[in-house]
Amino acid sequence: MSEPFVALYFVIDGKILLHKCRLENAEHYGNLKNYPRSHVDVWEKHYLKLYGKDFDYYPRGRVIYNKATDIFTIYYDPCCVKEARHIRMLLGNRTCEMLTDKQYTCHMCSDFYDEGD
């Protein structure tokens, strides 16, 4: 069985840029375990110069874990449901829920996106 993880990710042209960590290395928020860095931090460190766009331009999401319920939640942008399902497969037969969330909307899905024009 695959190792359980929490993560954040971006999707660019169908490619998943997955940043994950094992549960014992995750940040704790009450019963939740979360990836210890933000999308902004990861984007600025690894991708900003490469892609030249803000972190919220591309579809993105996050995987969190609830210790109390033993359920993983995969949040995703509606533009990357296929890639979110692939991440779900990486978690094996663990119980997962998949949810969209306005926090993870890309420039195409957001009513408020401003590209700095």
Q: How many domains does the chain have?
A: 1
Burial state string for 14-46 with b = 16 or more CB within 10 A and e = fewer than 16: eebbbbbbeeeebeeeeeebbbeeebeebbeee
Structural tokens at position 39: 């999308």
Does the residue 39 lie in any domain? yes
Q: Position of tokens 């033993």? A: 70
**Contact in structure between 4 and 91 (CB atoms under 8 Å):** yes
Distance of CA 8 to the CA centre of its chain: 3
CATH of the domain at 46: 3.40.20
What's the whole-model pTM score? Answer: 0.90
Does the residue 64 lie in any domain? yes
Distance in angstroms (rounded) separating the CA atoms of residues 102 and 63: 15
- Residue 101: what pLDDT? 86
- Residue 57: what pLDDT? 94
- Residue 30: what pLDDT? 94
Does the residue 46 lie in any domain? yes
- Residue 117: what pLDDT? 43
Question: What number of residues does the chain have?
Answer: 117
Does the residue 76 lie in any domain? yes
The residues facing 60 across adjacent strands are 10
Residue 87's H or E segment, with its range, is helix 81-90
Does the residue 17 lie in any domain? yes
Look up the domain containing 89 and give its range. 5-104
Contacts for 18 with CB less than 8 Å, ≥ 6 apart: 7, 9, 87
Q: Which residues of the chain have pLDDT under 50?
A: 117
